[in-house]
């Protein structure tokens, strides 16, 4: 069903806060897709208003409380980690225990709106790190109007954690806004239009304001194959250093090769211009490939490759990240779940003339994560985990090697 496929892709890939890569894996975020829409996507019911209302009425939950149409669904997450090699400042590697405490609440406002708010207390045993309280808030809305499927999201994220990019504990705030619209032109042809805004503020680094659009024309070639052509542009306004302007052109396909194998691939070019100071430009191929194999309900194996460009925290710079990854999700003995993931990333820092302090920096990052989890009381999870991160940088003070052990537990109503 091409329409529902488009709905699912739009909501699942609504941009969240694109904060710089953490040394410590961030806490998992609860889903913010409106429950009634999720039920439509899962059941593949016709996406009209009447069916959405009927699904909402037929699938009542067990909320903590309800006032009129507003349903409150709290969630809680706790994680303990003990890690070495974590950088408080570039070149200074330290060992610390970390307690992350994340109580939150998801408010469902009926079929079309939901709001999630989650604060996180990050507490370090080593006084070289600063305890902090992070915040994450996401609003998601969805509606159908005159043949259009409309999606909206607004996000706010604050964190103060060690970052690979800066080699130190860094405070960072982002506000993200995304609007997405789909229209089914005929049985096989659909159009998608997207507009995004990202406002990022980090003390000690330039503030960046980014606006972008990406638009697609999609064709359902067969029951198993969807192809598309897209183009977009963006502009970045930095408080100091060079501004940036970029153009993107891409093609993509989604192929359900068999009932067990799904392939999603896209590729194209991005031309990025640095405006001001010494100027400069780059024209690079960009791509994304993911292959998922699910031989049965208890096993999922996926591999992926990607290259993307993004604004760096450093003035007059962008990052070009090329990544390979593989992931295994395996259910064991009915009640246990093994998640194992490995990734290798190469991050190149592209700068504009003399205003770029880290131009020429190249990082080779390797990450391994293993998690064994089980459930309790139906909606709770508990897990033990191990993560290893290594970064080899030609700017030596940014390199590090970190081993992290811990356990975590969460509960969602």
The C-alpha atoms of residue 367 and residue 297 are separated, in whole angstroms, by: 27
The C-alpha atoms of residue 84 and residue 404 are separated, in whole angstroms, by: 7
Q: Structure tokens of 288?
A: 């994304």
* pLDDT value for 67: 78
Helix 2-12 to helix 35-43 angle, to the nearest 10 degrees?
A: 140
* pLDDT value for 394: 93
Which residues of the chain fall below pLDDT 70? 1-20, 26-64, 277-279, 352-357
The C-alpha atoms of residue 16 and residue 33 are separated, in whole angstroms, by: 13
H or E element, residue 48: none
**Own/partner pairs, 276-281, CB within 8 angstroms, 24+ separation:** 276/241, 276/242, 276/243, 276/352, 277/241, 277/242, 277/316, 277/352, 277/353, 277/354, 277/355, 278/242, 278/352, 278/353, 278/354, 278/355, 279/242, 279/352, 279/353, 280/242, 280/351, 280/352, 280/353
The C-alpha atoms of residue 372 and residue 281 are separated, in whole angstroms, by: 45
* pLDDT value for 2: 43
Q: How many CA atoms lie within 13 Å of 66's alpha carbon, on the beta-carbon side?
A: 10
Please answer whether residues 338 and 371 qualify as being in contact, where contact means their C-beta atoms are separated by less than 8 angstroms.
yes
Please answer whether residues 311 and 165 qualify as being in contact, where contact means their C-beta atoms are separated by less than 8 angstroms.
no
Burial class (CB in 10 A: 0-12, 13-18, 19+), 332: exposed
Please answer whether residues 329 and 339 qualify as being in contact, where contact means their C-beta atoms are separated by less than 8 angstroms.
yes
For CA atoms 24, 26, 27, 28, the dihedral sign is negative
Q: What angle do CA 125, 130, 131 make, to 5 degrees?
A: 70
* pLDDT value for 18: 44
> What is the 3-class SS of 186-250, one letter each residue?
CCCEEEEEEEEEEEEECCCCCCEEEEEEEEEEEEECCCCEEEEEEEEEEEEEECCCCEEEEEEEE
The C-alpha atoms of residue 383 and residue 404 are separated, in whole angstroms, by: 14
> What is the 3-class SS of 338-407, one letter each residue?
EEEEEEEEEEEEEECHHHCCCCCCEEEEEEEEEEEEEEECCCEEEEEEEEEEEEEECCHHHCEEEEEEEE
Please answer whether residues 17 and 173 qualify as being in contact, where contact means their C-beta atoms are separated by less than 8 angstroms.
no
pTM of the model: 0.85
Nearest alpha carbon to residue 254 among 245, 246, 243, 266: 266
The C-alpha atoms of residue 103 and residue 116 are separated, in whole angstroms, by: 11
Nearest alpha carbon to residue 62 among 379, 335, 375, 382: 379
Please answer whether residues 98 and 123 qualify as being in contact, where contact means their C-beta atoms are separated by less than 8 angstroms.
yes
At which residue do the structure tokens 């570039």 appear?
A: 90
Q: What angle do CA 11, 323, 215 make, to 5 degrees?
A: 35
Beta carbons within 8 Å of 136's beta carbon, 6+ residues apart: 17, 29, 104, 116, 117, 118, 119, 120, 155, 156, 157, 158
At which residue do the structure tokens 């042809």 appear?
A: 189
For 290-329, what is each residue's pLDDT tens digit? 999 999 999 999 999 999 999 999 988 889 999 999 999 9
The C-alpha atoms of residue 91 and residue 187 are separated, in whole angstroms, by: 58
């Amino acid at each position: 069903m091409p329409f529902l496929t488009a709905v699912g892709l739009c909501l699942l890939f609504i941009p969240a806060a694109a904060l710089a890569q953490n040394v410590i894996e961030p806490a998992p975020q609860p889903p913010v897709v409106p429950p009634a829409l999720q039920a439509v996507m899962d059941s593949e019911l016709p996406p009209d208003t009447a069916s959405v209302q009927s699904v909402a009425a037929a699938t009542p939950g067990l909320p903590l409380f309800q006032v009129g149409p507003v349903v409150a669904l709290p969630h809680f997450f706790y994680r303990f980690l003990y890690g070495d090699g974590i950088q408080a400042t570039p070149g200074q590697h330290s060992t610390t225990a970390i307690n992350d405490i994340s109580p939150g609440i998801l408010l469902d406002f009926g079929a079309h709106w939901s709001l999630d708010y989650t604060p996180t207390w990050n507490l370090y045993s080593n006084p070289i790190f600063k305890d902090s309280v992070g915040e994450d808030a996401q609003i998601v809305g969805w509606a159908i109007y005159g043949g259009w499927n409309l999606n909206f999201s607004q996000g706010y994220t604050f964190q103060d954690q060690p970052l690979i990019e800066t080699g130190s504990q860094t405070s960072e705030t982002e506000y993200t806004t995304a609007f997405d619209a789909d229209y089914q032109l005929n049985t096989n042809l659909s159009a998608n239009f997207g507009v995004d805004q990202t406002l990022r503020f980090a003390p000690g680094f330039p503030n960046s304001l980014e606006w972008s659009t990406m638009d697609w024309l999609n064709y359902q070639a067969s029951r198993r194959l969807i192809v598309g052509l897209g183009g977009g542009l963006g502009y970045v306004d930095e408080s100091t250093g060079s501004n940036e302007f970029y153009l993107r052109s891409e093609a993509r396909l989604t192929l359900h090769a068999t009932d067990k194998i799904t392939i999603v691939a896209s590729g194209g070019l991005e031309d990025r211009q640095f405006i001001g100071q010494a100027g400069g430009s780059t024209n690079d191929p960009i791509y994304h490939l993911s292959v998922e194999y699910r031989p049965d309900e208890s096993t999922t194996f996926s591999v992926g490759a990607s290259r993307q460009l993004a604004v760096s925290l450093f003035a007059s710079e962008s990052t070009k990240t090329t990544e390979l990854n593989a992931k295994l999700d395996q259910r064991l003995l009915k009640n246990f779940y093994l998640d194992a993931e490995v990734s290798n990333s190469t991050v190149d820092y592209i700068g504009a003339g003399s205003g770029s302090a880290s131009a020429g920096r190249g990082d080779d990052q390797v990450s391994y994560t293993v998690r064994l989890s089980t459930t309790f009381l139906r909606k709770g999870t508990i897990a033990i985990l191990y993560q290893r991160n290594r970064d080899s940088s030609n700017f030596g003070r940014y390199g590090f090697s970190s081993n992290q052990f811990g356990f975590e537990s969460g509960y969602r109503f």
